[in-house]
Amino acid sequence: MKIKSLIESTAYFLLRAAAAVLRLMPLSWALALGSCCGRVMYCIDARHRRQVYQNLKIAFGEKWPPAQVRRVTCRFFVRLGRDFAEFLCLPKLSLNWIKERIELHNAPAIDELLKQGKGLILMTMHYGNWELSILKLRSMGYPSHAIFKVQERAAGFNQLM
């Protein structure tokens, strides 16, 4: 077996194991654990921490002092960990949970456009759990499909997706 496929297989196994453990917990605990993991990643992943910091500095450096850029960088990692835990817990989320917590702005406009007999393409930024928007649309009776770029370095993640 090649080293690359061994690493990918191991990563996929660990990802599936993490998902199974998180799904056994109450959702609030799983999200809290995800937030903690995000904070740990902020502390140990210097390369990505610098990248996020630099991007925020480019976007807000004129308006924000360095201390605020650092705080937002840390919050980004905490939120990323929480979002990832939430993503791994998607199969356990009920339709009611989705209906209550995910807000779809301007649903009447979507209804009006679909009444015209044409399709509709909704685009979202890749921030947070955009996957939840698909579930929200389905919970409202809209046929919907997600299109995403296959991750070449993360075959296991593609299977999970």
Model pTM score: 0.79
Cβ contact 72:111 at 8 Å: no
Rounded CA-CA distance 123/74 in Å is: 27
77-88 residue pLDDT tens: 999 999 999 989
Kindly give, in sequence order, each residue whose CB lies less than 8 Å from that of residue 160, ignoring residues fewer than 6 positions away.
Answer: 12, 15, 16, 19
The confidence score (pLDDT) of residue 102 equals 83
pLDDT digits (tens, 9 = 90+) for 25-65: 999 999 999 999 999 999 999 999 999 999 999 999 889 99
Q: What is the mean pLDDT of the chain?
A: 86
* Percent of residues, the chain, with pLDDT higher than 70: 90
Higher-confidence position of 95 and 64: 64
